[in-house]
């Protein structure tokens, strides 16, 4: 059944971690204040910088604070959650304790009478064949069970190693953008067109790429609109531009909201 709501806020790629307190506080404020204006909130993945198991959350004061904020939000606003590439191991225990509703990637939703296809976005970066192979392996249930049975200290070491590799790739991605060359870490039109055709939809919303924008695109006979959510980073060094946005969808259409407090 397609979720239907008169209004919604959509966010993605907050990468919450104790080392980014300003970003975390903006999320807590979002849960307490911004979300009250809509019927539903959709979190499209990478809410956390990494997730190494629901059991790790119980031993972290920071993650308990996040859990409480989401649980409070869920009592006021219907809150949906989609796995990202950093937090695909968020499991049923955390989902139940927070009152979240887990949705698949991609998911078709109806907001204010229009249908939108929602995705985290990493599955659409099909030019990055190395990552897609990694993604297929890490989504295998037996491998996830094996990882979650490792001691917590081992899981944390593995996660930190993967984060380091991801950061190096992101730096290369930024250099590619500055050189005006196509980046293999961006979505491809072929992948977008394929899932839109499958779901008979012409509106796509995703995150992951950290390239917020609104695009009108076409492939063969199919035309569509694509909205990309921003990542959140309010803890950047002095002189850098902080980032945080959301999409507001209601009977007035789709509007990008800048959530950076000035």
Rounded mean pLDDT, 130-135:
93
pLDDT digits (tens, 9 = 90+) for 79-107: 999 999 999 999 999 999 999 999 999 99
pLDDT of residue 210: 94
pLDDT of residue 176: 53
**Helix, strand or coil for residue 81?**
strand
Domain coverage including residue 234: 4-258
Among 55-59, 103-107, 119-123, 135-139, name the one with the lowest average pLDDT.
55-59
Domains held by the chain: number: 1
CA separation for the pair 86, 125 (Å, rounded):
15
CATH number of the domain that 199 lies in?
A: 3.60.21.10
If phi > 0 it is left, if psi is from -120 to 50 it is alpha, else beta; for residue 229 that is: beta
Nearest by Cα to 253 from 83, 113, 99, 148: 113
Q: Give the other-Cβ count within 10 Å of 201's Cβ.
A: 18
Do the strands 253-258 and 101-102 form a parallel or antiparallel pair, or are they unpaired? unpaired
Rounded mean pLDDT, 106-131:
96
Rounded mean pLDDT, 156-168:
76
Q: Look-up: residue for tokens 């204006």?
A: 37
Question: Which residues are registered as beta bridge partners of 254?
Answer: 249
Q: What Rg do the C-alpha atoms of the chain give, in angstroms? A: 18
Single pTM value for the model: 0.91
CA separation for the pair 232, 242 (Å, rounded):
8
CA separation for the pair 130, 203 (Å, rounded):
28
Rounded to the nearest integer, the mean pLDDT of the chain is 91
For residue 165, pLDDT over 70 is answered with no
Rounded mean pLDDT, 158-172:
68
Residue 250, judged by CB atoms within 10 A of its CB (0-12, 13-18, 19+), counts as: middle
pLDDT of residue 240: 76
pLDDT of residue 239: 59
| Percent of residues, the chain, with pLDDT higher than 70 | 92
**Helix, strand or coil for residue 23?**
helix
For residue 3, pLDDT over 90 is answered with no
CA separation for the pair 28, 34 (Å, rounded):
10
Rounded mean pLDDT, 248-259:
96
pLDDT of residue 161: 86
């Amino acid at each position: 059944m397609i979720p239907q709501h008169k209004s919604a806020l959509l966010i993605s790629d907050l990468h919450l971690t104790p080392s980014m307190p300003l970003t975390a506080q903006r999320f807590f404020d979002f849960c307490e204040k911004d979300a009250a204006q809509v019927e539903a909130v959709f979190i499209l993945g990478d809410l956390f910088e990494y997730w190494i198991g629901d059991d790790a959350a119980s031993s972290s004061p920071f993650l308990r604070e996040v859990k409480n904020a989401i649980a409070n939000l869920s009592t006021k606003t219907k809150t949906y959650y989609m796995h990202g590439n950093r937090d695909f191991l968020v499991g049923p225990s955390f989902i139940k304790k927070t009152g979240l509703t887990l949705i698949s990637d991609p998911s078709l939703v109806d907001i204010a009478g229009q249908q939108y296809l929602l995705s985290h976005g990493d599955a659409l970066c099909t030019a990055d064949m190395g990552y897609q192979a990694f993604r297929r392996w890490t989504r295998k249930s037996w491998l996830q069970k094996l990882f979650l049975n490792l001691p917590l200290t081992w899981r944390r070491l593995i996660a930190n190693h993967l984060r380091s590799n991801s950061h190096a790739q992101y730096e290369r991605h930024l250099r590619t953008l500055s050189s005006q060359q196509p980046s293999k870490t961006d979505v491809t039109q072929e992948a977008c067109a394929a899932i839109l055709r499958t779901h008979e939809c012409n509106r796509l919303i995703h995150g992951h790429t950290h390239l917020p924008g609104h695009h009108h695109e076409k492939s063969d006979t199919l035309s569509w609109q694509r909205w990309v959510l921003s990542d959140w980073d309010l803890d950047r060094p002095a002189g850098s531009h902080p980032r945080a946005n959301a999409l507001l969808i209601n009977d007035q259409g789709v509007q990008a909201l800048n959530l950076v407090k000035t």
